[in-house]
Amino acid sequence: MPASGTAPSRTPPSRSAPSSTISSKGQVTVPIEVRHRLGLKEGDRVEFVFEDGRTVLRPVRSETNPFLAYVGTLPAFSSLEEINAWLRDLRGDYDGEEATPKDGGL
């Protein structure tokens, strides 16, 4: 221990943040670890957002719900029994028994 009676300070090993260099065309290569963390792949668009005095890089996400493309692809059901009958028909189960959660129905 030093003479003052305090333990020596330990600094954790420094690891520099991922960085990149801007090209003469203003292009930046996003480091692989950043691409992985953000789920980016070739051709993805990113946006630069200014918030709280910082600039944040984030993937551009569509503002539309991607599941809207599937609206109307399934028939509308008014009961669990209708759903189970539709599933039985799809599976070719024509034994006439009602499907229950125990035997694989909804």
Q: Would you write out the chain's pLDDT as a tens digit for each of its 106 residues?
A: 555 555 555 655 557 899 999 999 999 999 999 999 999 999 999 999 999 999 999 999 878 887 888 888 877 888 999 988 888 888 987 665 554 555 555 5
Half-sphere exposure of 36 (CA within 13 A, CB side): 4
* Domains of the chain by start residue, with CATH: 21-61 (2.10.260.10), 66-103 (no CATH)
Which of helix, strand or coil describes residue 51?
Answer: strand
